[in-house]
Amino acid sequence: MTLRRTFSFLLVLVLGCGTSRPEGDLPELHPTRGVVTRAGKPVAGGSLRLKAVASADNNLRVTGPVGADGAFELSTTHALSQRKAPGAPAGDYTVNYMPPGETQSVMPVKLSQRVTIKPRPNELALKLDGR
């Protein structure tokens, strides 16, 4: 009987350990918002994805939907834990803009400008070079 209890305890312990969600803390985030324009006029919809130029954590996704008026606010998600919060970590980024569209034939537009998120509230003016 003792062997059976020990086996049951070990089985519960092993199975229980496999069900936890991976950890992934978010770094300090800074409020970041702005407007995306093309030829001086706000774009209507789409989304942004920023990629850190130099980052030790490749599990962070900095994204933001673009409204009908071109306005956006960024948020950061940790890919492992799925923790999400408004803002972006400080650093330099490349930016991809995904135009609105229902099909996968819509290609992202890589902006020629890099952006810097500073450790304070940030206002960004992103320009699509006439594309």
Q: What is the pLDDT of residues 14-69, one digit of tens each?
A: 444 444 445 678 999 999 999 999 999 999 999 999 999 987 678 999 999 999 99
pLDDT (0 to 100) of residue 24: 78
Q: How sure is the predictor about 113, in pLDDT bands with cuts at 50, 70 and 90?
A: confident
Distance CA 16, CA 38 (A): 53
Mean pLDDT, residues 120-125 = 97
Q: What band does 101 get if pLDDT is binned at 50, 70 and 90?
A: confident
* pLDDT beyond 80 at 8: no
Domains in the chain, ordered, with CATH? 32-126 (2.60.40)
pLDDT digits (tens, 9 = 90+) for 71-91: 999 999 999 999 999 999 999
**pTM of model > 0.75:** yes
Structure confidence at residue 6 as a pLDDT band (50, 70, 90): low
